[in-house]
């Protein structure tokens, strides 16, 4: 599943292509992409209103928090009453096209005459500063999602003075997501204190998108290894400095992954040009069960924690250290 570095790679590609561009036509080829994995029956009217809401609008920017991505919209094409649950008095710039890659979603930039991939679920014709082309959403397993959403104030970060910072506008589906480690208002000490109040395994705390967003299974395992903390260690029993070390490691490892375009955990993750990242070559524990630890040569162990495959070096990652 794409995590922060992969979604950010896609966001950068989309931003270069789509900022300031107008959507001249929106076409949903498979209505299920507007639903959710638990509600895939999407009425035809919703497809029509989704397409109408987007035609003629301008993409202001491409934004991201954690694994959530959205494009704030401006222009006359948007009408509040054409959006599910919307009001007719809504300001045009209060809406965004939300795009969640899910497990296997791809956002691809194409020429209009390029052959259509069989798993293409939606096509947006765009014209803007970067030229004329198509944004295509390809999703084999349809765990991804597209929707027109309201912009709402998100979770607050930490301001310059250490008090609560500004609440950035985010797509409604991202309203419960905590700041990700790449955001300016993200504070390692503040998040570490939030972790310390949780009587859960460190890995579980890292995967909880409400506290810190963007970290998924791969980078959680990598961050815990780098910090020398066992994934099952109780957050509430760790020294604050150890928790801070894990958060710093998460930020570092994701920054390094972003530099090389992310991790191609399966063939489906590609950037907007169809290229895969190659951070999987630098993974130290994830997917390395039975292979020697890069630091001590102990074979890496795979355990299941909270239903997730977890990779650990039992020698480098000490089970528990009391505060």
Please give the Cα distance from 18 to 261 (Å, whole number): 19
> Binder to Zn ion among 141, 193, 210, 315 (CB under 5 A)?
315
Shortest separation between residue 284's beta carbon and Zn ion, angstroms = 9
Count residues contacting Zn ion (CB under 5 A)? 7
Cβ nearer to Zn ion, comparing 31 with 314: 314
Per the CB < 8 A criterion, the answer to whether 254 and 263 are in contact is no
> Binder to Zn ion among 26, 151, 235, 313 (CB under 5 A)?
313
> Binder to Zn ion among 274, 292, 296, 318 (CB under 5 A)?
296
> Binder to Zn ion among 293, 305, 310, 312 (CB under 5 A)?
293
Q: Is 6 a catalytic residue?
A: no
Which of these segments, 73-81, 118-126, 258-266, 307-315, binds Zn ion (CB under 5 A)?
307-315
Shortest separation between residue 300's beta carbon and Zn ion, angstroms = 8
Cβ nearer to Zn ion, comparing 199 with 291: 291
Q: Is 2 a catalytic residue?
A: yes
Segment 217-246, which members bind Zn ion (CB under 5 A)? none
151 forms part of the interface with Zn ion (CB under 5 A):
no
For every residue of the chain, which 3-state class applies, written as one string?
A: CCCHHHHHHHHHHHHHHHCCCEEEEEEECCHHHHCECCECCCCHHHHHHHHHHHCCCEECCCEEECCEEEEEEECCCCCHHHCCCCCCCCCHHHEEEEEECCCCEEEEEECCCCCCCCCEEEEEEEEECCEEEEEEEEECCCCCEEEEEEEEECCCCECCCCCECCCCEEEHHHCCCCCCCCCCCCCHHHHHHHHHCCCCEHHHHHHCCCCCCCCCHHHHHHHHHHHCECCCCEHHHCCHHHHHHHHHHHHHHHHHHHHCCCCCCCCCCCCCCCCCCCHHHHCCCCCCCCCECCCCCCECEEEEECCEEEEECCCCCECCCCC
The residue behind tokens 């780098």 is 226
Cβ nearer to Zn ion, comparing 98 with 246: 246
Cβ nearer to Zn ion, comparing 273 with 298: 298
Shortest separation between residue 195's beta carbon and Zn ion, angstroms = 24
Which of these segments, 100-108, 134-142, 225-233, 294-302, binds Zn ion (CB under 5 A)?
294-302
Please tell me which residue in 65, 67, 121, 203 is annotated as part of the active site: 67
Segment 14-33, which members bind Zn ion (CB under 5 A)? none
Cβ nearer to Zn ion, comparing 80 with 287: 287
Which of these segments, 13-21, 74-82, 153-161, 309-317, binds Zn ion (CB under 5 A)?
309-317
Q: Site residues (CB under 5 A) for Zn ion?
A: 293, 295-296, 298, 313, 315-316
> Active-site residue numbers?
2-3, 67, 308
């Amino acid at each position: 599943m794409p995590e922060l570095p992969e979604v950010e790679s896609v966001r950068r590609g989309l931003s270069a292509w789509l900022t300031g561009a107008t959507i001249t036509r929106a076409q949903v080829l498979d209505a299920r992409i507007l639903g959710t994995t638990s509600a895939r029956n999407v009425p035809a009217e919703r497809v029509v209103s989704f397409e109408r809401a987007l035609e003629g609008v301008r993409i202001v920017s491409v934004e991201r928090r954690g694994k959530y991505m959205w494009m704030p919209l401006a222009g006359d094409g948007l009408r509040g009453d054409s959006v599910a649950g919307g009001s007719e008095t809504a300001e045009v710039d209060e809406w965004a096209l939300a795009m969640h890659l899910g497990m296997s979603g791809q956002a691809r930039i194409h020429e209009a005459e390029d052959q259509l991939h069989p798993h293409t679920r939606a096509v947006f014709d765009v014209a803007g500063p970067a030229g004329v082309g198509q944004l295509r959403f390809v999703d084999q397993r349809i765990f991804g999602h597209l929707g027109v959403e309201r912009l709402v104030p998100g979770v607050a970060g930490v301001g310059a003075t250490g008090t609560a910072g500004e609440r950035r506008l985010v797509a409604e589906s991202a309203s419960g997501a905590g700041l990700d480690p790449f955001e300016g208002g993200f504070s390692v000490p503040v998040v570490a204190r939030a972790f310390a109040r949780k009587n859960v395994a460190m890995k579980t705390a890292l995967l909880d998108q409400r506290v810190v967003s963007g970290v998924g299974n791969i980078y959680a395992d990598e961050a815990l290894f780098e910090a020398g903390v066992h994934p099952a260690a109780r957050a509430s029993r760790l020294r604050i400095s150890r928790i801070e070390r894990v958060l710093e490691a998460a930020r570092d490892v994701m920054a390094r992954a972003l530099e090389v375009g992310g991790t191609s955990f399966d063939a489906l993750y590609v950037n907007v040009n169809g290229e895969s990242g190659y951070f999987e070559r630098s993974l130290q524990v994830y997917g390395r069960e039975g292979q020697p630890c890069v630091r001590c040569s102990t074979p890496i162990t795979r355990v299941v924690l909270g239903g997730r495959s977890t990779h650990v070096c039992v020698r480098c990652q000490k089970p528990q250290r009391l505060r």
